[in-house]
Copies of this chain bind each other. A is one copy, B any other.
Amino acid sequence: MTKPLRVGLAGLGTVGASVVRLLVQDRELLARRGGRAIDLVRVASRTFKPDIDLGGASFDTDLGSLDTPDVDVVVELIGGEGDAGDVVETAIAAGRHVVTANKALLAGRGNELFAAACRNGVALGYEASVAGGIPIVNALHKGLAANRIEALAGIVNGTSNYILTAMEEDGQDFAGALAAAQRLGYAEPDPTFDVEGIDAAQKLAILAALAFGTGIDVAGVYVEGIANVDVEDIGYARELGFSIKHLGIARRREDGIEARVHPALVPESELLAKVSGVMNAVMVHGDAVGATLHMGPGAGGMPTASAVVADLVELARGTLPVPAPATAELPSLGLAGVVCPHYLKIPAIDQPGVFAEVADVLSRHRISIEAVIQRPQAIRSGEAPWVPIIILTDEVAETEVEVAVAELGNLSGVSGAIARIRVADLSAMMLGP
């Protein structure tokens, strides 16, 4: 048996502690799988956690203590870009391999770090940075290596999916569902990162780069969170045969890479529509295989540790890849050029002729109506009486629907903001262009 793989671990939060537990408890199993021992030799964390069994590894509160020749691979589980970036950069510069769960770091500085790893011939494992325990990086790099990936779509933020599921199943409003998620520890006290879609955009940017062979471009991702999804929209969507999910969607088009994160109506017949709670799922369309779906827990200590340690086993085997330079020079398109059906909720004053006005605007923009829901509704809180007109449109270009919605907002019969949510017709998208 060859020399052990010596691991230095930075960060002892939930994931760090779980990785330590796996490495210590499953030492024998992992050695068998990896073909050599995977030894945790050093742990560094700003705060000492006396209750964690480090299995004989030395401990230091100085993160610089991992910059030493007796460490072969640095596992970075600190999070954020500051200290984590320094630790990763130092390790790569010194010719040490790196395994990280840090999507923010990769989204911010991934291209530079991948290039440095490539130059220095060290592996950089990041399975844990996207979709927690789901081995999606591995699937894209290895299991689906014979395919040109054409599109992927997924639920990659468990917090948002938990909130939308609670709204759909229990009829809670956004604020109530968020508060419940916070009580259960599924959402942070400051939930911005998750509910505004930033976390999902980072993950999508990483997945898209891997799938399409481009650089990571998080700034090129169109981002919209779930804060404006009304529980009423979820009800109407259901009536129309859809579930509202927060999706990350990336497609390779002739003119570039479409990448967008937003709430979307997903047909109930799609498996993605059934993914509930904090689960993650990613659908991938390859030119040879067609559509595959990869589902599992998207967060949590042990699921994420499963991904981190899988990278370590692959490294021990010598099969964790050194990053290759980006091969495709494709511009990021964000939302530009996207054509899809839309859900519109138009607050119409309850007077004759309003529907005709609405229909006329849509018609002038050549937007076909696929379905309509309108029914009598009580007057609300002293304001002028209005009823929501729900319209499901046929496929329409972003630019067109934007202009049409602005015009609708100016109609005298329309009172208040128009809600619009895109429809993700996954089967068409996966087969499209």
- Give the interface of A toward B (CB within 8 A): 18, 22, 26, 29-30, 32-34, 127, 133-135, 138-139, 142-148, 271, 274-275, 281, 286, 288-297, 300, 302-303, 305-310, 312-314, 317-319, 321, 327
Evaluate contact between A143 and B135: CB separation under 8 angstroms. Answer: yes
Please report the C-alpha to C-alpha distance between residue A352 and residue B323 in the assembled complex, in whole angstroms.
75
Query: What 3 A-B pairs come out closest when comparing CB atoms?
Result: A135-B143, A146-B309, A292-B296
Q: Which of B26, B139, B146, B289 contacts A143 (CB 8 A)?
A: B139
Pick 30 A–B contacts, CB within 8 A, sort by A.
Answer: A18-B288, A26-B146, A26-B148, A34-B145, A127-B143, A133-B289, A133-B292, A138-B143, A139-B143, A142-B310, A143-B143, A143-B307, A144-B310, A145-B309, A145-B313, A146-B305, A146-B312, A271-B274, A286-B306, A289-B306, A289-B307, A290-B296, A290-B302, A291-B296, A291-B297, A293-B294, A293-B295, A294-B294, A295-B295, A318-B319
Please report the C-alpha to C-alpha distance between residue A32 and residue B30 in the assembled complex, in whole angstroms.
31
User: By CB atoms of chain B within 10 A, which of A127, A144, A288, A297 has the most?
Assistant: A288
Q: Which residue of B lies closest to A286 (CB)?
A: B306
Evaluate contact between A142 and B148: CB separation under 8 angstroms. Answer: no
Evaluate contact between B271 and A310: CB separation under 8 angstroms. Answer: no
Question: In the assembled complex, which residues on chain B have CB atoms less than 8 Å from the CB atom of A148?
Answer: 26, 29
Nearest chain B CB to A133 CB, angstrom units = 4
Nearest chain B CB to A146 CB, angstrom units = 3
Q: Which of B290, B294, B305 contacts A303 (CB 8 A)?
A: B290
Nearest chain B CB to A122 CB, angstrom units = 16
